[in-house]
């Protein structure tokens, strides 16, 4: 029997041009599309490392996935591939906080300038666009500017797509260049919709985490590279080093398991009438912790996974300047309001932080512990 969408309409297979589809989120989306749908993926990225396991010609879906090794900055094939697809999903970005300070130009170009042709090609060719924005576009919370006695009220931290203001720090704090570039792209998409009828959906991820996120420094990434917090803490745990808490790990985040998040993206793909014209927060407000609490939880879970005493694992406070360099700023807290996605798509996250850390740290241990043991056994030069 043909699969139907939320309105009972049959789901017809579509071809999806997935820009940045070789990254963390892209790899999970490709896996889902290949194993559970009849859709076709035309994947564009500068690297296929995270999806090579899906590209083997002997796999049953081999005819439904193709990879184009391309940098969208300077490749004229982009328009042809957008034209050849029914839907474009744009995931391409520089989105690692350590890069915002050290590669500010690349950050602005990648999150704004490089997205402009993608949006233009979708408008001109009447193609649907699902664009990945970020929860970071809201910037700092109102709560962080209030006197201490008002700070406990969750309403001052709840971020609503169609209501909340955007509060960015000064130009010298280059974290906000990422937020500002993403914000401009959202506004450009909205303007194309308003003036030229672009069919769009904007996704705002709130700290999606899981296997294949970023890299482990010195194993599948540069040894002096700084990935996002899940990979930083995993790296520390794998090496038996203290987990570094930036400015004491006071900032708070809501963490969403990437596999729950991909269910939401699939609903957007299969329900265009419900998703077009909307901006969706996609997060898990029930999984809120401070970064310090995250570190403590990861220590507890990893000790069980790797069968080592939790007492051998520890945390260490570091200043943001020592860790990221001068000019770093942080988001204090981000709680997604879930009203729009619940109403439009009936989506709810399912996986608790304990469960998602358990499966993710099992993956990290299985994937990396051997390589790290070998590296640590080498005599130092």
Residues identified as active-site: 178
Nearer Cβ to ligand UDP (250/374): 250
Distance separating alpha carbons of residues 24 and 343, to the nearest angstrom: 27
Closest C-alpha to 92, from 131, 128, 60: 131
Residues binding ligand NAD: number (CB under 6 A):
25
Nearer Cβ to ligand UDP (107/207): 207
Distance separating alpha carbons of residues 159 and 339, to the nearest angstrom: 11
Backbone angles phi, psi at 199, to 5 degrees: -90, 110
Provide the minimum distance between the beta carbon of 223 and ligand UDP in the complex, in angstroms, as a whole number. Answer: 15
Element (H, E) at 201: strand 200-205
Among 29, 43, 51, 245, binds ligand UDP (CB under 6 A): 245
Residue 139 interacts with ligand UDP (CB under 6 A): yes or no:
no
Nearer Cβ to ligand NAD (131/199): 131
Provide the minimum distance between the beta carbon of 322 and ligand UDP in the complex, in angstroms, as a whole number. Answer: 11
Residue 232 interacts with ligand UDP (CB under 6 A): yes or no:
yes
Nearer Cβ to ligand NAD (70/308): 70
* Residue/partner pairs of 100-105 with CB below 8 Å, 24 or more apart: 100/174, 100/175, 100/177, 100/178, 101/174, 101/175, 101/324, 101/325, 101/326, 101/327, 101/328, 102/325, 104/174, 104/177
Provide the minimum distance between the beta carbon of 106 and ligand NAD in the complex, in angstroms, as a whole number. Answer: 9
- 226 SS3 class: coil
- Restricting to residues 284-313, name those near ligand NAD by CB under 6 A: none
Residue 95 interacts with ligand NAD (CB under 6 A): yes or no:
yes
Tokens of 343: 């109403």
Provide the minimum distance between the beta carbon of 315 and ligand UDP in the complex, in angstroms, as a whole number. Answer: 9
Q: Which residues contact 9 (CB under 8 A, 6 or more apart)?
A: none
- Restricting to residues 68-97, name those near ligand UDP by CB under 6 A: 97
Residue 232 interacts with ligand NAD (CB under 6 A): yes or no:
no
Nearer Cβ to ligand NAD (93/313): 93
Contact 241, 302 (CB under 8 A): no
- Among the candidate windows 51-59, 109-117, 247-255, 272-280, which touches ligand UDP by CB under 6 A? 247-255
Alpha helices (H) along 109-174: 115-124
Nearer Cβ to ligand NAD (93/180): 93
Residue 216 interacts with ligand UDP (CB under 6 A): yes or no:
no
Nearer Cβ to ligand NAD (38/367): 367
CA distances from 245 to 236, 276, 323, 333 (A): 11, 40, 9, 16
Residue 279 interacts with ligand NAD (CB under 6 A): yes or no:
no
Element (H, E) at 51: none
Tokens of 169: 């720090």
Contact pattern from residue 56 through residue 75 relative to ligand NAD, giving x for each residue in contact according to CB under 6 A and a dash for the rest: --------------xxxx--
Contact pattern from residue 129 through residue 168 relative to ligand NAD, giving x for each residue in contact according to CB under 6 A and a dash for the rest: ---x-x----------------------------------
Provide the minimum distance between the beta carbon of 168 and ligand UDP in the complex, in angstroms, as a whole number. Answer: 14
Strands 15-19 vs 208-209: parallel, antiparallel or unpaired: unpaired
Distance separating alpha carbons of residues 194 and 298, to the nearest angstrom: 45
Q: Which residues contact 346 (CB under 8 A, 6 or more apart)?
A: 6, 267
- Positions that interact with ligand NAD (CB under 6 A): 20, 22-26, 44-47, 70-73, 91-93, 95, 110, 114, 132, 134, 205, 207-208
- Positions that interact with ligand UDP (CB under 6 A): 97, 207, 228-229, 232, 244-246, 249, 251, 253, 291, 330-331
């Amino acid at each position: 029997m043909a699969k139907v969408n939320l309105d009972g309409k049959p789901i017809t297979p579509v071809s999806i041009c997935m820009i940045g589809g070789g990254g963390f989120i892209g790899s999970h989306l490709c896996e889902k599309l290949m194993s559970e749908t009849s859709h076709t993926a035309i994947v564009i990225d500068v690297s296929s490392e995270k999806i090579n396991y899906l590209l083997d010609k002997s796999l049953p879906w081999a005819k439904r996935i193709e990879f184009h090794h391309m940098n969208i900055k300077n490749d004229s094939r982009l328009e042809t591939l957008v034209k050849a697809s029914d839907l474009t999903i744009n995931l391409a970005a520089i989105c690692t906080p350590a890069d915002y300070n050290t590669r500010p130009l690349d950050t602005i170009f990648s999150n704004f300038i490089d997205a402009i042709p993608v949006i233009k090609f979708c408008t001109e060719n009447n193609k649907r666009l699902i664009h990945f924005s970020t929860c970071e576009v809201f910037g700092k919370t109102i709560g962080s500017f209030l006197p201490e006695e008002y700070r406990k009220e969750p309403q001052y931290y709840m971020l609503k797509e169609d209501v909340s203001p955007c509060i960015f720090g000064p130009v010298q704090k280059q974290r906000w260049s990422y937020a500002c570039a993403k914000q401009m792209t959202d506004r450009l998409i909205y303007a194309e919709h308003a003036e030229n009828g672009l069919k769009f959906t904007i996704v705002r991820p709130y700290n999606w985490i899981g296997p294949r996120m970023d890299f482990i420094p010195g194993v599948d990434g540069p040894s002096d590279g700084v990935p996002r917090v899940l990979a930083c803490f995993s790296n520390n745990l794998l090496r038996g080093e203290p987990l570094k808490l930036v400015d004491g790990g006071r900032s708070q985040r809501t963490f969403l398991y990437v596999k729950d998040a991909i269910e939401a993206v699939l609903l957007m793909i299969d329900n265009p009438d419900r998703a077009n014209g909307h901006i969706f927060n996609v997060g898990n407000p029930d999984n809120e912790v401070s970064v310090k609490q995250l570190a403590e939880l990861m220590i507890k879970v990893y000790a069980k996974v790797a069968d080592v005493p939790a007492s051998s694992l520890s945390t260490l406070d570091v200043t943001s300047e020592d860790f990221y360099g001068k000019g770093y700023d942080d988001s204090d807290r981000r709680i997604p309001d879930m009203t729009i996605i619940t109403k439009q798509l009936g989506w709810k996250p399912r996986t608790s932080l304990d469960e998602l850390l358990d499966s993710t740290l099992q993956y990290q241990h299985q994937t990396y512990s051997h390589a790290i043991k070998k590296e640590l056994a080498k005599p130092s030069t």
